[in-house]
Structure 1
Amino acid sequence: MPNSQRLDLLRQLREQAGLSQGEAARLLGLTGRQSRLTVGAWERGDYAPDERRRTRFIGYLWDHLRLRQAPQRFAEVWEILVEEWGWEELSEAEWRGLTNQPRTVEQKSKPVAVAAPFQAPPPTPFFIGREDDLAHVSAQLRGDTGQVVALVGMGGVGKTTLATQIAHRLRSDFGDGVLWADATTNDPLPVLQSWAQAYGQDLSEINDLASRAAAMRGILAGKKVLIILDDVRSPETIRPLLPGVASCAVLLTTRDQDTARVLNAEHYVVEEFSEQESLELLFKMLGAGRVTAEIEAARAICRLSHYLPLALEICAKLLARVSWQQLGTLEQRLRDETRRLDQLSLKDLNVRAAFEVSWQTLTAELRTFFPMLGIFAGRAFSPAALAYVSQRPEEEVTDHLIAFVALSLVKSPAPGSFQQHPLLADFAQSRLGDATTAHRRFAEYYLTFCRTQQKNYPALEAEFENIMRAMQITFAQQQWRMVMAYADALMESWLRRARYSEGRLGLQWACAAAKAEGASETMVDYLIRRGLLCAEQNEQQEARSHLQAGLQLAEQLGRERSLAEAQYHLARLAVEQAQYEEADEWLTKCQALYQTLGDSAGVARTLHLRAFLLHRLAQYGTSNSLCLQALDIQERCQEVTDLLATLRLLTDNAFEEQDLTRAEGYALRSLQLATEYHDHSELVKAYWNLATLYRRLARYPEALGYAEKAVERFTQMGNRAFTSYALYEQSMSQKLMGDYAASLATGHRALTIMTELADEYNRIHCLNHIGALYLQLYQPLDARRCWEEALLLAKQLHHPKTSELEAQLAGLG
C-alpha cells in the first residue's frame, strides 16, 4: 500500500497552486461527478493511478502545480511517485523535453530494497546464565499476537544486557528487522525518523508527532519487527513508538512495574544472580586460575556485592586492571559498608549513579521517606517497625512501601514483609544524615517486640536479624539496662530456636552491661547461659571457663539455685569428654542442692544426665530406669525441653537393646513434641534419631533423607558434635545403599569433627565404620589401621565396642 504521509505532498502542492480536487480531476482528464474523490484517494495513497495517465501527470505537475519554476523539486516529487506508485523513472528524453537543467536526483528504474535493520548493541562478551530468562521471554516474543513484554528490575540488575542478548537470539525470528531506542528521551520524533530511515523512508517533513507516529505504523504494517525500548521511565513518552500491529513485538526494560502495567505489558522480573552465576562471571572475566586460587575471597566478593550483576562486573574489571592484585584486598575494602558504594565505580560503570536514576524519579514526599529504609540495612522488616522508626502512621508507611515495590526499590518477599537490596540500603543510608534518633527508635521498637512476643518463637525467628542489630545498637550506645532487657527477653528463644551464635554474642554484650551496672546477681545467670551455649557449639574450654566463673560468683552471692545449675552443666561437659568420675562428683553435688531447694525439675535433669552417663557405660537397663523416673517428673512439671532430651535418650537405649518398636515410639513422640513447641534444637535431634531408626529398619532412602536434613540444620546451628553424629548416620545409610565412595568421604568428614572435638567415645564408632568400608573396598591395610586405633581408644574408655573390634582384627589374620 502506498505511503499516505509521503503522497500527502500532492495535496499540499495542489492547495498551494489554488486548485480544488474537482479542478485537478479535470486537468488530469477525469470525468464524472465522483472524479474529485478519485483525486483525493490518489493523494491519500488509497491506491495508485494507472500509469497510462503518466503523460497527463507530467503536465499536471510541471504546468498546473507550477513545478516548472523548480525543476529539481519536480524531480524529487516524481521520485516519490516512482517509489510509492511503482511508476517508471523519467527517461532522459522526457527530462530534456521539459528543461535543459541537469537532474540532481539519482535516477532509479525501480525502488531499491533496503536490508532489514538491526539496531541492537553488540552483546557483552561476558554474558553468563539467564537461560531460563532467555527462554521464557523469547518464547513470549515469538508469539503471533503482537506481544509487549517488559523486563522489570532494580538498577544494575542487567535488564539492558538481557534485552541485548534476546535481540541477538531472535534476529532470525524477526526477518524485517530489530529496532532499538533509548527510551529516556523526551522527544520521540527523532526516534521515529531514525526508524523510518532504517527502512529507506524520510518522515522529516512530518513535524506533527501523531502524524509521524501514524506514518511509522504504516511503514511497519505487515512487517515482522522486534522493537526494543530501553530504560522506559514514562508511558506517555513511548506510546507513540508502539507499533500497534500484530506482526510486531515489543520488549521494554524498565524499573517501574506500574509503567509496564499501564502499557499492558507482560512483565518479567529480572533478579540478581545466584552465587553460582556470580562466580561464573568472575571465572569468565578473570580466569579460572586466579579465581580458584582465592576461591573464598571470590565467594566473599560475590556476597558483599550481593550478587548484583553491575557490582560484580565492576569488581571484576577493577581486579583485571592489575593482574597481581589479590582478590582478598578488594574483599576487605567492600566490607566497609560506609564506603562500599564508592568502591563500586569504574569510569561510567557506577552503582551509585545507577541508583541515583531511581532517586531522581521519586516525588518530594518519597525522597523524604526513602532514607529511613537504610536503617534496616537490607534486612526484611514490617511496616509497623518502619512506622515506629519514622514516626508516621502505619497506613501511610504501607502506601509508600507499595510505591517503592512498584519502582523496584523494595521487594515484598512475603505478605506484610518488605526488604531492600543491601546495596540500595547503603544508598538510602547515605541519604539519611544523622541516624542517632532513628537508631534509638529502632532499638526501642524491637525491645518492645521481644517482650511482647517472648514466647512466640516463630515471630521472633522472623525478626532475629533486626533484633540482634537493635541489641548491638543499644550496646554501642552504652544503654546498659536495655542491653540486659534484651538478654532477659531472648534467653529462652536463643536456646529453643538453636540460635547459639547469636545467643553467645548477645550474652557477651549482656555480661559487659551487667559489669558496667554492677549487677552481680544478673551476671551469674548470664555467665551460666554463656557456658551452656558454648557447650551446645562444642566450645568446651570456653564453656568451662564461663561456668566456673558463674559457679564462683554464685557461691559468693549465696545463689544456691544458680550454683546447682552451674554444677549440672559442668557435669554435662565432663560426660561429653568421657570424664565420668568428675561428672559423677558434679552430679552428686547438684542433685543434693536441687533436692534441698525442692526443685523437682532440677532433680529430673540430674536423673537424665546420670542415665546418659550409664548409657555411655553400656548399662542400658539402669539408664532406662532413671530415664523413666525423670520422664515422670518432667511430664508432671511440664518441662518440655528436658522431657524431649529424656525421650531422645530412651530412643538411643532402645536402639542399643535392639528394640526398634520402642525406639520408633519414642522417636515419633519426640518429633511431635518438638514440632508442637517450636523447639528447633530438639526437632533436628529428632531427625537424627529417625535417620538411625529407619536405617535399622532397612528403610534406607528415608534414613538418608533425615540424615541429610539433620546435617544441614546442625551445621546452620553451629552444633559441631551433632553435625558429626548426623554425618555418621548419613555415611551409614550411603554404605547400605551401596555408595561406598560417598560413604567413605562422609565418614571421614564426621571423623574429622570428632577428632577436633576430642570426642573419643564416638570416634571409636566412626573408626569402626570406616574400617568396615575400607574392607568392603578391598583395602585391608587401611581397615586394620582404623580398627587398631579404635581398639586402643576403646580399651582406655571401657567402650562397648571393644570385643567387636578385637574379633574383627583377629579375622584379618
Structure 2
Amino acid sequence: MEFRILGPLEVVAGTARVDIGGTRQRITLANLLLDANRVVTVDRLAEAIYGIDLPPTARAQVQICISSLRRTFAAHGQGDIISTQSRGYMIRVEEGRLDAQRFEALTLKARRVRDAGDLDQAVQAYREALALWRGAEALECIDSRPVQSAASRLTEERMTTNEDCVQLELDLGRHQELIGELTRLVEHYPLRERLRGQLMLALYRCDRRAEALQVYRLARETMIEELGIEPNEQLQRLEHAILTADASLDPPGRTPKTTVDAPAAPAPSVVPVPFLLPRAIADFTGRTKQIDAIERELALADEDPGRFAVPVVIVAGKGGIGKTTVAVHAAHTVAERYPDGRLFADLHGGAARQVSAMHVLERFLRALGVPGGDMPEGLEERAEMYRALLADRKALIVLDDAASESQVQPLLPGTKTSAVIITSRSRLAGLPGAIHIDVGVFDTDQSIELLERIAGTERVQAEIEAAKALAELCGHLPLALRIAGARLAARPHWSIDQLVNRLTDETRRLDELNHGDMGIRASLSLTYESVGEDARRLFRRLAILDGGIFAAWAGAALMDVSFYDAEDLLDELADAHLIEAAGGHGVHSAYRLHDLVRMFARERLVAEESPVQRKAGLERVLGALLFLAESAHRSAYGADYARIRSDAPRWPLPERLTGELVADPFAWLERERPLLVSGIRQAAHAGFAAMSWDLAFAAVTLFESRVYLDDWRETHEVALAATRQASDVRGQAAMLYSRGSLRIAENRYPQARGDFDEAFRLFTEIGDDRGAALVMGNLAFLARMSGHVEDAAEQYRRALEIFTSTGDHVSCAYMLHNMAQLRLDASDPEGASNLLAEALELSRKGGSRRVEAQVLYRMGHTYLAWNELVLATQVFQTALEMVRGISDEAGEAHILSGLGVARLRQGETALAEEALTESARLSGLGGDHFAEGRALLGLGELAVTRGDARHAVSCFEQALRIFQAIDTPTLEARALALLTEARGMLAGDAGRMGETGELVG
C-alpha cells in the first residue's frame, strides 16, 4: 500500500486506488500521514476536523473516523496499520511507501552529491524528487486549517527544492531549457524573488536582456502593490548587473573562472570564549516537561558513541507562546556542559525583513575571534570557516525565531561536540535528525502562577475565579498574561474582575497574523487604549523604525518633542509593557518592541497616521540620526575632518544632551549601528537620496575603526544606487570616494583607484574643490604605495593648497604628515621634521586628537631616523595614550610597532617584544595587514638581535607575503632585503647580520 500527499490525498493498494471515505476520514488520514510513524493526539485530530469550536462528541467522532479507516485498510490486508497509543493514534508507514518521505530522501541525496561536487547527479535527484508531485499544492482540497498549515510547509520545501535545482542547472549552463519552466513558476508564485532572479538570469544569458529587465520591472510593481516594499537587495543588484552587462553573469564556459579555496579558519593566539546568551528569565514559570526533554535529549546525544551529527533541538509553537523563554532557560540550565562558548542570534523569522545567515555568521565569527579584515565575503565560505572553528569545541548555539530550514542550515556546526537549540513558529521538518519540542499554551495552574509572580500572590488568590477567567480570556498565552498582569500591577486599585470585564468587551483581533494568535490583539488593544494620547502616538510611530532597538532620542524625533518629554512617554509605554527595556541607563537607555507588538503598532500606524505624517516622522528621526552621527564624528576627530555634507535636513538635539550621548563616540556609534544600517536603506527607499548617502558617509567613522567591511560595502551600494536614481552628482562622488577608501581597507588598490578617478571627475565637474582634494589625498597614498613618489608628492601638494585656502586645519595637518613620510622615505628626516612641526600645530588648532596622534607617530619615526631613541620613545608613548583615550585600536597597532622598534634599539628587548607582539595582535584582529607587516618586521629585527635567525626568517617571510599581497613595492623591497640577510645569517654565510637601518613609517 502506498500513500500520496504531494497533491490530492491518494491511497493505492497494488494498482487500485483505495476509497478512503468522507471528508472527516480524509482529514484524519491526512493528519496521520503528515506525522507518519509518530503519535498524533486525539485533541489535534479533533481540532483538524472541527476547528476550535469542538462539539461535545468530538472525541467520539475521531474514534469513529479511525474505525472507518481501519476497516478500509483491513479490506486490503492492512488492518493493523493504525495503532492506538496512550494519547492518540499512529499510522505505521514503511520506508518508501509515502511520497513525502521519498521526496525528503531524494532532496537530501541531491544536497549530498551537490556538496561533493557532482552537479549532474544532484540535478537528477532533484528532478526525481519534483516528479513525485501531482499538483501545485500538497493535500489539495482538504478543508482543514491545521492540515493546510502543515501542508504549506511541504509546498514551501518543494519550491525551495525547485529553486535549488534550477540554480544548479543555471550553473551547468542550461539556461535555454529553463525559461519555459521558470516563466510558469513565476506566474504561479509572483512574490518569490529568487525565482524572478533566476528567470532574469536565464533570459539575460539567452541574449534577451530587455525581457530580463521587464521581469524585474513587473516584480517591482507586484512587490510594491502587494506588500508595499521594494524587491530585495539581491534582485536589485542583479538588475544593475544586467544593465551594466556585468561579466559575472555570463554562463559557465564563456568567462574563465578561477577556483578559490575556502578560507581556512584563523587561529588566534588567544581563543575567545563567547557568551552571547541573554540573561536568565527571573520569573520563569512552568515548562518543566519541555526543559527536562531538552536536557535529556542533549545528554543522550553527548553520550551516544555512534552519533556523529550535531544534536539539534527545535522548540516550536505559535507566536507569543514563550518559545524564546524556554530556549534561553534551557540554555542556561545546560550551559556548564558547553564550556567553549554559548552563541545566540535572533533571526526575526516573524518580521518582514528577516536576519540573513550572512549577517549572523559575521557576528558569530567575530565572537569566535575572526578579524573583520579576514571575514569571507561569501555565505558558503563563512559557513565553512564557522564549522571549522567549532569542529573541536563544545559550544551551544541558540537560534531564536527561525523562519525556515534554509535560514538556519548555514548556522549549524558540523560535529556532535556542539549542540543547537532552535525556536520557530514552524516545525522545520526539513532538518534531518532534529528533536522537536512543542510548546503549547499554559494550563490554568501555570497561568495563575505567572499572574501571581507579576501582580502578587495575595491579590490573585483573593479573586481566584476572576483570575482563572482572566487567564482564559488571555488564551493562556504567556505574552497576553504578562501584559494583563502588568496592567494589574500598575493599578493596585483595580479588581481583577474589573479587568476581566474590560477584556470581555474587547472584540478586535489581529487579522493579519496568519498563525492564529487571536488573543493577543485584545490584550494589546486594551493596553494601547489605556495609555495617554501622546503615548499612543509615539507607540505607533515606533513602527516606522526598522531597527529592533531604539533610544529615547529617536522617540523625541518621531514625536517632534523634547528628549525628556519622549523619556516620559517611553516610561509610560514601558509601564504598560507595550515596549520593554533593552539595556543601558540614563540617556543611553534602550528599548525594544516585541515582534507581535510591532505588528500591532504598524497596524495602528497605517490606520491612524496619514502617509504624509509617516514620511515626516521618518525624515525627522533620520535627521536626528544624521545629526548625532556627525556629532560623533566630530567628537572622534575634533572637527569635520574628511566629512562631505549633503543638504539633507538635520533634526538637532540640545548641545548638552548631544555631548552626553556622544561623549564616547565609538560606543554611541556601536550602539546605533543597526539603526544606522537600516536607516540608510530606509532613506533610500523613501526617496531621501541625500539623507541616505550622508548617513552612509557618517557611518564610515564606525565601519572603518571597527572593520565592519560588510556594513560599509552594503550601505554604500544602497546609497550609491539612490544617488544615481536621483541624479545626485555630489552624492555619487561622495559614495565613490568613500567606497574607494573601503577598497583600500580591503587591500583592493586597483578597484580603489577606479573609484577615486571617477569621484575626482564628478567633484571637478560640479566645482567641489574640497571633495576633489579629499580624493587627491587618497590617490597620493596609492601612488606612494606603488612607488610613484613624484606623483604622490604632487597630489599631496595640490590637496594641501585647497585645504589651506578653505581654512581646514585638520586636513592640512593630515596632508603635511603624509608629505613628511615621503621625506622620511627619501632619507630626509630634517625635511620631515619641518613639515611635522607645522602639522602638529595645525592638528592642535583644529582640535583633532586623532590626527594629532598620527602626527606624533610620524615624529617618532623621524626621531628614530636621527637615532634619538629616548625622544622617539617619549613621542610614541604620548601618541599611544592619545589613541587609547579615543579607542582608536588601528592607531594603537601602528604606534606600538614604532614604540617596539624604539625600545629594541635602546636594548630593552623585553619591552620591545611586548609592544611588537601587541601590535601584531591588534593589527591581526582589525585586519590591518599594513600594520601587521610592519610589526612582523620589528619582530624579525628583535629575533636578529637575539641571534635567533630561524625566527627572524619566519617573521620576514610573513611580512614579505603581506606586502606582496597588498602591492606595496617599497615595503616589499625592504622585507626582501631583511629576509635575504637573515637567510644568510641562518646559513652561516654572513656570520652575523649588519646594521640595516630603520623600518619605514
Normalising by structure 2, we get a TM-score of: 0.42
Q: Which structure has greater helix proportion? A: 1
Larger Cα Rg: Structure 1 or Structure 2? Answer: 1
